[in-house]
Amino acid sequence: MKRLLLGLVATALAVALPLPAYAGGKTPDDLRELSQKLKVYMGSAVDVTALAGEADYRKVLNREFTHVTAENAMKWESVEPQRGVYTWDGADAVVKNAQRNRQNVRGHTLVWHNQLPAWLTAGVADGSIDAKALRKILREHIMTEVGRYRGKIRAWDVVNEIVDDDGNRRQSIWLTNLGPDYIADAFRWAHQADPHAKLYLNDYNLEWNTAKINTTLNIIKDLKAKRVPINGIGFQGHLGIQYDYPGDFPNVMRQFTDLGLEAAITEADVRMVLPVTPEKLATQADYYQRMLSTCVDNGHCVEFTVWGYTDRHSWVPGWFDGEGSACVMDENLAPKPAYKALLSVRRK
């Protein structure tokens, strides 16, 4: 009953909100058509269990999206849970499904401080993996994973969340044991493994956090000065309607693309404090619309990916107590006002 009521609220509000006509023709019927009109990839993170076991989830994913990201299946703990023992089934399933449905793929993620395999973190902690061994292990991981999907991945999140919210380089096993050069090394190894993939730095709160923005800009300038092959910047786009929309986001994105990078919004969702109301759904729709418009208006932003398209499989309730309804479709895969708002976005 709860799901039904939410779906009815979303549907009613979607009908009540007038949408502007699409410039040069009718409003697109779905996100795949929108992608073609805007010349921006429209993507979603993929839950591999749902991909395998839920026909309705799979049908909507393949109908709507031109780009996909494995939500967890390409992370290190997933692909190498035991040292030297690889489990590619989930990652392979995402790539093969994408190939069958004319979708590009974002690889996520090669170097991160979270979701590392226990054998790696334990080995660093007890000293059985020293700095020299750790560097070798990192290189092997990147070369193995990127090499496996060479020619099949449009873009890789090479390094993820390397700056903390205070604007400092994040303290991690990588920085502590390898020093700051691990970032340049990771990009060089990824490029060596697949010279044609676009290579990204990806982070959250880059839309508004000045300290994080400035540090990240300086890191990128340093990498480019050293001719490190970095191609793109990923803005995760995890927003909440209880906070003001980051109104300076267009200028922030421009600072990065002015450095010669392409940009992507890589993990967009807009959560709210529950319960859901029509007013909250309207605000959420506005936030989604403004994020996509920022990408489209920039000219160098090539991808807009939502971090899961349905509330059925959203990560938000498990991480933010009392919050949820963050996606563009509800638990029953019914479009919410946010979905309709995305379809209304036009190029200036």
Active site residues: 161, 267
CB 323 within 8 A of CB 344: no
Count of CA atoms in the C-beta half-sphere (13 A) of 137: 24
CB 94 within 8 A of CB 70: yes
Alpha-carbon torsion (46, 48, 49, 50), positive or negative? positive
CB 295 within 8 A of CB 265: yes
Which tokens is 89 given? 């089934």
Closest CA to 68 of 38, 29, 101, 37: 101
| Chain centroid to CA 324 | 18
> In which element (H, E) is residue 175 found?
helix 173-178
Cα distances (angstroms) measured from residue 25 to each of 22, 29, 121, 162, 341: 5, 12, 54, 43, 16
Give the integer Cα–Cα distance in Å for 34 and 42: 8
